[in-house]
Amino acid sequence: MVRFHRVAKKYLDTREVTAQMHLFAKTKKMFGADTQVYAAAHQDHMPRVLRTLKKLGINAKPMPTMKEIPYDHDGDQWWTRARWRFLLREWLVVRLLEILGLI
């Protein structure tokens, strides 16, 4: 499980989590041509997670047993407090990542 950014005090974002996972799996020679990876993420975040993994060349699909995860109305980040906030931010972030060629 990835818990910390490789750079001290930096926000642990989707790209960093997937990059660390990719590096770990590559180091352990865990990937083959037909390797299937299951992603665990909030249901509204899953499309970006899957696109980020695909950009890294990882064949991934949502973990089949994932249940709906509620939003945290007292969360530290404003975008995790309500679905509409998250979807607004996610839309903007995805557009930016597309422009930058990161997904």
Domain range summary for the chain, segments of one domain joined by +: 14-99
Q: What is the pLDDT of residues 17-27, one digit of tens each?
A: 888 988 888 88
Which comes out higher in pLDDT, residue 51 or 11? 51
55 in Cβ contact with 22 (< 8 Å): no
What was the pLDDT predicted at 40?
87
For residues 97 and 103, the answer to whether their CB atoms sit within 8 Å is: yes
Amino acid at 81: R
Length of the chain: 103
Tens-place pLDDT, residues 34-82 = 778 888 889 999 999 999 988 988 888 998 876 788 999 998 889 999 9
